[in-house]
Structure 1
Amino acid sequence: MKNIKGEFIQQLRASFPQLENEPLEELVSDQLVSPFHVELPSSVLTQAQNFIEKIFAIRELPAYQKLYSDALAEKGIRDPGNKSIMMSYDFHTDENQNLKLIEINTNAAFLALGTEMYKAHKIPLPVSDFSFAEVKAEIETELRLNGRVPSQPLKVAITDEDPASQRLYVEFLVYRELFKSWGWVCTIEDYRELFKNSSPDFIYNRHTDFFLSDPTSAVLKEKFLNREVCLSPNPYEYLMLADKNRMVEWSQPGFFEALGVDSNSADFLRSIVPRSLDVKSDNVEELWAQRKKLFFKPKNAYGSKQSYRGENISRKAFDGLKHEETLAQEYVPAPEREFVTPEGPQKFKFDLRCYAYQGRLQLVLARLYQGQVTNLRAPYGGFACVTFV
């Protein structure tokens, strides 16, 4: 079996020669990139494109945005004008190869690394006309939407909590070199240190304090609200699309129609959004009875933290859910593929990560894993290319 990690690192160094002295062998984990790829019918790609286009068109409706005026006021968030770069829509496929939405991420990882992964595998990109030039254009669009004129050289900061300790710090390095190749000034900074030594025009935000509600985010939140900096992704877009409360609403009969969405589009969207419910004191017994058909996840966590498959949850753990902000979702099992490894045939589950800006699908990756949740720890698993036939 070919050394995909070595080929991937070689590809990164070929695309970004400035990384030559970075310890990429240490920064790229052995299970980050899979040697396998997933083949799916082209109808899956079409569904993803249509869903992203339609749901973003709904997000743009004034009537839709007005629905959340109270929630925005409660969280002290205002519309900054700009959207969010490098978002993802994560899906499973059912037995009929129909998409089922798992969640939406406003700070999804691996768009840049995924693009390079396709090059390392010598597999064409699923969206053939996507390139990094599009990322440059969308950042400039973000600045204009935020009411700013892109300056030259543009000052950009990539931020997270203690970035160098993050599992995908290597992607921050790739973005830094990509931005520098466009003549921009770019730094990688802890979100708490952002404005101490510089004043960035644009911040590519990978921090998971989605609403900037932690006291340590106070300075960043103030700068964001005052439009002193263009922050992308940002809390407003998170509330509009990625907050798990949206899936509760989207799955309700009549929600889309009340916004003027035609019945065919509404039916299509609901076919992809699984039935989703709040876990509350007045429905816990009903949900307990239905638990084997449900999946439970916290509304404000990420990365499959504290998530439970209903058939495996204990009554004690379940009873604790009603005191938390918890979502009960129709259980859609992850699809599986069998691949031949050096140890013999093995089955891997997978999900699909579909990256987008506004209503435009840009890249599709699979994440291969074994066990209950994606964890990038299974040998021969990890991020994988997808081909559509």
Structure 2
Amino acid sequence: MDLARVSARAGRLTKYAAEALNSGCVCISMDQDALHHALESELGTPGLLALVEERCPYLFAARPVFISTDHMERMTQLVRAVESVIALPAFREQILAAAPAIARHDPGGARGVFFGYDFHVDQYGIGLIEINTNAGGAMLNAVLARAQRACCPEMEQLVPTLASAQALEHDIVDMFRAEWQLSGHDRPLRSIAIVDEAPEQQYLYPEFLLFQQLFQRHGLHAVIADPSALTLHDGVLWHGDTAIDLVYNRLTDFMLESRAHAALRAAYLAHAVVLTPHPQAHALYADKRNLALLTDAARLDALGVAPATQAILLAGIPHTEVVDPAHADRLW
């Protein structure tokens, strides 16, 4: 374990050190009392602890999982490679031409919040297996960061501090404000609706409450709403008597096709609200068929993707192909 200690103190964690910590560190790094305090008192959400314990008791792991600095850097490199391809006009034209019409609607500058790049990590390296555009868990991780403790010397330089947890929360709020500004608005963002179907019944409803409290602590009016509770009139999206500036979209109806989402869809198409994430983001990033393109050297060549970028993509994304009944025997 000496190597793990040296690596951690140097600010880097080698592959060997990460493996040693994962196999040999049996410490409990989560401080239950600190977690309870963060949920009940520090974040101003009374009753949230009981809700978490009832609804989703396995959200927080007592033990950490370690990944090496090299793996982190490779993940970052791969995300940048994916982003560079998605920025290509030829890629966007090809993907959006095959997507529903709403995906071609100009989102007005908003880029989308909380993209999730899901990696599988093993002894052979990393593999990007999915991209999500409405990933949950950011606020839960912010809470968890407040409840970590260094249970052994090797952990001392790896445990997040209260300051880093607070910085993450500020970054989250700044991201939503940036979406508002990127959409061309000069006045400050005032109101946010956190939207999902039957939100109180959702597994991650506790996180919705954490987001609501976070926004309110930063001076933003925040509501949690079912999309059917939204109305559009006078060029404004409303929740009751509250005009909504921005919708934090947690729906899995990515193209807003449900009749219950008609008001939100109409508001988005009329640029009456900033919607983030939005249908175009899902089409460009999260449609699983895109992984087949990103692992096809011939198609990447045709798009003009640089050889160095291709090498990163082909090494970091498992070969993917679209399932076709004509290939059933081979695929089976």
Alpha-carbon spacing, 1:138–1:246, altered in 2? closer, same or farther (3 Å):
same
Aligned counterparts of 1:260 and 1:100: Cα–Cα separation in 2: 23
What are the equivalent positions in structure 2 for 1:255-334 lying under 5 Å apart? Answer: 255-288=299-332
Partner of 2:6: none
Structure 1 unpaired stretches of 5+: 289-389
Specify the alignment match of 1:116 in structure 2: 143
Q: 1:136 is matched with which residue?
A: 173
Q: 1:159 deviation in Å?
A: 0.8
Q: Which residue of 2 aligns with 1:233?
A: 277
Cross-structure match for 2:117: 89
* 1:263-289 per-position Cα deviation (integer Å, ceiling 9, x unaligned): 12211112111111122121111111x
Counterpart amino acid of residue 257 in structure 1: D
**Aligned equivalent of 2:50, options 1, 9, 25:** 25
Indicate whether 1:176 and 2:208 are aligned: no
1:70 aligns with 2:107: no
**1:244 corresponds to which residue?**
288
- Cα RMSD, aligned residues only: 2.2
Partners of 2:283 and 2:138 in 1: CA distance: 22
Supply the distance in 2 between the matched residues of 1:188 and 1:64 (Cα, whole angstroms).
35
Give every structure 1 segment of 4 or more consecutive aligned residues whose post-TM-superposition deviation is greater than 6 Å. none
Alpha-carbon separation, structure 2, partners of 1:79 and 1:214: 20
More helix by share: 2
> Deviation at 1:14?
4.2
Alignment of 1:364-375 (within 5 A): none
Percentage of matched positions with identical amino acids: 27
Residue 224 (1) aligns with residue 268 (2) = yes
Aligned equivalent of 1:102: 129
> Which residue matches 1:212?
256
**How has the CA–CA distance of structure 1 residues 2 and 76 changed in structure 2, closer, same or farther, with 3 Å as cutoff?**
closer
Larger Rg: 1 or 2? 2
CA gap of 1:150–1:208, structure 2 versus 1, over 3 A, is farther
Which residue is equivalent to 2:156?
Answer: none
CA distance in structure 2 between the aligned counterparts of 1:53 and 1:161, rounded to whole angstroms: 33
Deviation digits for residues 332-351 of structure 1 (CA, Å, limit 9, x no counterpart): xxxxxxxxxxxxxxxxxxxx
Aligned-residue offset at 1:209: 0.6
Aligned residues: 282
Instruction: Measure how far apart 1:167 and its partner are.
Output: 1.3
Structure 2 equivalent of residue 186 of structure 1: 222
Per the normalisation by structure 2, the TM-score is 0.78
More strand by share: 1
Distance change >3 Å, CA 249–CA 226, structure 1 → 2: same
Aligned: 1:37 with 2:73: no
Aligned partner letter, 1:189:
A
What displacement does 1:59 show? Answer: 1.7
Query: What is the TM-score when the length of structure 1 is the normalising length?
Result: 0.68
Give a deviation string over 1:109-158, Cα, whole Å, max 9, x none: 11011022022013227xx6962222222212211222333435x11110
1:200 match: 244
